[in-house]
Structure 1
């Protein structure tokens, strides 16, 4: 069989029977994001919340009930789905008291300050835990009973996510049950454009031979497959929330479609598709709220390279790629449609940053006077912050042309306005802000070479007092 690469992961939560499809239709769909724990340098809860706020993310899903993060989320208004991990299901499913204790510790202790709106009981339980069905049902009932006892059952919903994967290239036999909503043409391959929401000519659309419904993307087809499956079991008017879907930005040699461009295309188009509130061919106009998998790359995950690269951001807050979200509202501030800035990669060698800073303020002919002592951008007085200003000034002066935000690899493009206090970066619309994870403006403890006292201002430009730095510049090609 050809390469089987799981590029489109979709996990569903079926909302309770008390929630009708008309209720779902009355509200707009939202985009949320998953936060996985398998990150070696996981940002602090405070920094995670700062990133969520900077990106206008109002819905998140946790794979556990991290106490520190739940406390940090208090009074933010962000809607939080917490999870009962699979390894706790047995105890909760066998004891009403254990379930009540779990709810007391992870829910009652945090509401209403933290806006916990749902509890996911387990994850892919039926496919990962043998003979788990009876325990799962009991766990759901016991958690629900604990919420009823606390008068929280009308505020917090209980569900269990289940998932399916779409394989770009070929369908393995285990995925055959999801084929009912589209024709599997010729050898059963799914066109990449069909998976990425790219526009298809009418003759390339997938058609359900049973219903004659036309599908222009895999996402709608899989959601409708879930609707059809429920309908076959005589369950209707139950809305679906897609709790995980995404695309990896990097893979190993057997995963050629796991690329930054494909990940960008899928998630950008997904966001626009969901927020359009068009629903699916089977249920047009019915909102399908969706959580993107995931916020950070999880470098500690096992398996192929793609498993580690589903995130929109690295752990240091740098975007893995820049989403293209024209017309998608204010969600995700790293949209570069209107503004982009050039800043430092804060973990790079201070000597490299210093040399690049010298070049920008010298041969690069950047006006670095705002970095002088007593001027608006002097503080914080470190090489990371000063280089960021100079890099961005050069990038903006060169009209953001390709290759002008590199500086020997120590610079990167961001859409988060790095302006702070009275220091307004060139290209800013005047709105102050900080880098999404706070690292850009943090004082540097790694080297004193960033102190701007090493420069003196003469004749409209900066000259370095360090001859060694000047010599180093001779090898620096911009």
Structure 2
């Protein structure tokens, strides 16, 4: 039946009550999705118009490629967190000495504080891949700029790093065997990682799954690049299953860092995206694929899914990019990475804030039962046979064609079966062991539409998408109205509610 205007109004009222109610506390933890914003195009909005556009769409993090005064002034008072850049062509002049670096910080950073919320500086971009002649001055420049920040007491607010290309990581699959390009691993990257560790910063990396897919399309499905359901690829060294390029590259970076004795700081994705238009020979380029990648990426990041190597660990990510820029050099695709056209109309629909979903989760002590890493498939299969047979676990959802069949692997199916048995036995002591092949976790193993039953009695995850004028919208609204008293009741019992708005 049609969703009437009156019904929509009622639903909006209920939403407003729930959102503004003191019973509900918006989540401030977890990862964010920011935007890259450049000016290399014709007919782009003015910086003030662009900032107003960001605020209108709830964008709270942005990366720019220089220290453009018009943009930084427009950002003043917006509270949008901004990462600024030192262009590659300016590295030599900025890093000439500690004096030149201090002057640069004073002019391009301190001038705009505190009104403009500058939180990061990216020194160059893909310097080691595209400008190898600057390799010897990259780290000295970073150090000089950091010393200037320290002298001005800005080093705790503003972190410094340099974006590297994913191609700098060699032998990236399986991720566990990855390492950095040997030309720079010990001479540049290792001291860079030392610096990042000492200053509490992060490694910036640019990841473009389309490029990786185009180079490996004979052995890689496009679903694997787009976060769409697929059987995945197993890392034989760790028995970790990878179902997308993005996670595999992040974990490859972690492995490469570990080889240089660093596991003590995070990775931030400084650029990732998918073009909506390309030349005829550019395989995989389309509006549909761009929309699929971006929307699946946002869900993956905002759900704090993490990676197989580091599940549940936030991976902050900047999408490339806000607007199409027609003056970009190179193939047609280079000009069409934007989420929006210069006239501010969408190339495709994307919500980077999670505002279209309300997610209600139970207490922080929820638990699940999953297969241990490194256990042989034969041991897992034997335990799964018991769980699905004599143990009376519900294994219907891991059958072919069902929501949890993919990833089609013994560890994934065993985890679902173990968790079902664990929940059906009220999470009793010893119900998550299976002769030592299972373990209890507080990290939700759910993936996509495959939802693992919660380990907290009576508390289930609830997702309500953007309401539309349809029968489905009416159903969502009715659900929201019915859930309102429940949400408030739960909050009065002092359970942790996370509302992503």
What is the aligned partner in structure 2 of residue 45 from structure 1? 47
What is the aligned partner in structure 1 of residue 229 from structure 2? 199
1:309-458 matches, within 5 Å, as: 309-323=336-350, 328-329=354-355, 337-338=466-467
Match of 2:279 among 246, 249, 252: 252
What is the aligned partner in structure 2 of residue 162 from structure 1? 164
Aligned length: 302
Structure 1 pair 297–187 and aligned structure 2 pair: CA distance change class (3 A): closer
Match of 1:108 among 90, 107, 110: 110
Structure 1 pair 145–291 and aligned structure 2 pair: CA distance change class (3 A): same
Q: Alpha carbon RMSD of aligned pairs, Å?
A: 2.7
1:162 is paired with a residue whose SS is: strand
Match of 2:97 among 91, 95, 98: 95
- C-alpha displacement at 1:182, in angstroms? 8.3
Q: Which runs of 5+ in 2 are unaligned?
A: 1-27, 178-211, 358-463, 471-501
Match of 1:273 among 271, 275, 300: 300
- Whole-Å Cα distance in 2 between the matches of residues 316 and 268 of structure 1? 21
Q: Which runs of 5+ in 1 are unaligned?
A: 1-25, 166-173, 341-395, 397-478
- Whole-Å Cα distance in 2 between the matches of residues 175 and 226 of structure 1? 7
TM-score (norm 2): 0.57
Deviation by residue 1:241-268 (Cα, 9 ceiling, x = unmatched): 0010000000111013110000000000
What is the aligned partner in structure 1 of residue 419 from structure 2? none
More helix by share: 2
Whether the aligned pair in 1 keeps the contact of 2:169 and 2:253 (CA below 8 Å) is no
1:109 is paired with a residue whose SS is: helix
- Whole-Å Cα distance in 2 between the matches of residues 134 and 108 of structure 1? 27
Whether the aligned pair in 2 keeps the contact of 1:93 and 1:137 (CA below 8 Å) is no
What is the aligned partner in structure 1 of residue 200 from structure 2? none
1:289-300 matches, within 5 Å, as: 289-300=316-327
- Whole-Å Cα distance in 2 between the matches of residues 324 and 187 of structure 1? 29
- C-alpha displacement at 1:43, in angstroms? 1.2
Whether the aligned pair in 2 keeps the contact of 1:70 and 1:110 (CA below 8 Å) is yes
- Whole-Å Cα distance in 1 between the matches of residues 101 and 253 of structure 2? 29
- Whole-Å Cα distance in 1 between the matches of residues 34 and 344 of structure 2? 18
What is the aligned partner in structure 2 of residue 241 from structure 1? 268
TM-score (norm 1): 0.60
2:84 is paired with a residue whose SS is: strand
Whether the aligned pair in 1 keeps the contact of 2:35 and 2:320 (CA below 8 Å) is yes
- Whole-Å Cα distance in 2 between the matches of residues 105 and 336 of structure 1? 45
Stretch moving more, 315-324 or 305-314: 315-324
Structure 1 pair 324–243 and aligned structure 2 pair: CA distance change class (3 A): closer
Structure 1 pair 50–336 and aligned structure 2 pair: CA distance change class (3 A): farther
Deviation by residue 1:265-311 (Cα, 9 ceiling, x = unmatched): 00000000000012111011110010000001110011111000000
Match of 1:301 among 320, 328, 340: 328
1:94 is paired with a residue whose SS is: coil
